[in-house]
Amino acid sequence: MNKTEIEENFQYQYIDSPALLEDLLSHLHPQHTVALDTEADSFHHYRPKVCLIQLSFDNKTYIVDPLAPVDTPALLTALANKELIIHDAGYDLRMLGGDYGFKPKNGVFDTMLAAALTGMKNVGLSALLEHVLDLKVAKHNQKADWSKRPLPEHLLQYAAEDTVSLMHIKSYLADRLNELGRTDWHTESCIAAVEAAQTSKETVAPDNEWRIKGTGTLSFKEMAFLQKMWYWRENIAKETNIAPFMICRNEEMIKLAQWAARRKKPIESESKFPIHHKFNKRKALLKALREAQALGPDQWPGPRKSDPSKRLSNTTRNTVNELKAECETIAAEHDLPLNLIASRAALTHIVLDNATTLEKIRKKGLLLNWQANLLLPAIQKVLSHNAPHKGVA
């Protein structure tokens, strides 16, 4: 199917009732492969949820509304047994897993991973649509509030566009992977992505959870104000289910912290705040700023605490840098970015563990099999003339 045929034949069905879902399930039953996408309201709410599930198969596209009275678990039970084509599968699978416990059982073809493994530099869906199908799709609706009902036609059209062409993109990328001999690389990477999506994110330590981006130059006194404001904002976000940035942006809190730290007099009113913002819970904000103002230097938060076990000696750091340089050469030879093959953290653990065999690398779970096979010559070369490292400075 070419660009013209896709545009002329494009249509979708909106599924928002039990009868319509039942009809969809009857059409879905014989299918082996389904293109899948979701829309969530994470940009607008503290606790995001899946708001739409888009499906394309057999030249048809469906938009299922899980906020309507439909049996979403029944749909997901059916989808779990299909091969799914998803662009950047991790996000969609985490959302569906968190809301419904969903886990695919018949494989996922991640088009973003496939594009990256074929050497494409821009792996966004818009870039793929243009590169593969000469389709230009604007992505200006990504920040829409998908939880609002009814959804306007232009948003439904936008939502449906993502899956309608994934079948054709998959076909193109599967051929390219086969030509490059990287099909197994992609399969293993997709399996790892599915497993990673099922793993809960690590809990951030209380000392670090409030340390937002841009605080590196703040004084300890300024950080005391920022810490109090962060918890003020977090409490409101939890109570109201509003995204934190919609209450007060990070840069606004930093500016306010710097202003408050310079004041000599007690903070009595928000009227003199250096930023123009319609604050929620103003009394609570004033209370937070006053609490910070009352703290003594011994109560100000200090620098981020680091794990002593992760401090590398100069010798270890030099070995990691040497290994990274060797691996970058291999990555360049395959026209791939190094971060697709190995992270610096993985290379550091390889050095610290003196993991010079495939068995040891696999046992430690440091790299996927294809990554380990690709980098093993560099690993053995570098570590063969470097003594094992304990790593602590």
For 268-302, write each residue's pLDDT tens digit: 765 567 666 555 677 888 899 999 999 999 999 98
Output the pLDDT for position 204. Answer: 75
Q: What CATH topology corresponds to 206-299?
A: DNA polymerase; domain 1 (1.10.150)
Of the candidates 89, 22, 82, the one whose C-alpha atom is nearest the C-alpha of residue 56 is 82
- Per-residue pLDDT, averaged over 338-354, amounts to 95
CATH 3.30.420.10 range(s) for the chain read 3-197
Strands (E), the chain: 12-15, 33-40, 50-57, 60-64, 83-86, 108-110
Output the pLDDT for position 344. Answer: 95
Output the pLDDT for position 201. Answer: 72
What are the C-alpha distances in Å from 266 to residues 117, 233, 285, 292, 294?
A: 58, 21, 14, 11, 9
- Specify whether the CB–CB gap between 126 and 139 falls below 8 A: yes
- Specify whether the CB–CB gap between 347 and 324 falls below 8 A: yes
Residues 6 or more apart from 194 whose CB is under 8 A from it? 89, 93, 103, 104, 108
Mean pLDDT of the chain: 90
What does CATH list as the number for 3-197? 3.30.420.10
CATH 1.10.150 range(s) for the chain read 206-299, 308-384
**How far does Cα 211 stand from its chain's mean position?**
19
What does CATH list as the number for 308-384? 1.10.150
Provide the whole-model pTM. 0.89
Q: How confident is the model at residue 108 (pLDDT cuts 50, 70, 90)?
A: very high
Q: What is the CA radius of gyration of the chain?
A: 25
Output the pLDDT for position 162. Answer: 86
Output the pLDDT for position 392. Answer: 56
> ∠ CA 217-222-226 to the nearest 5 degrees?
100
User: In the chain, pLDDT over 70 holds for what percent of residues?
Assistant: 90
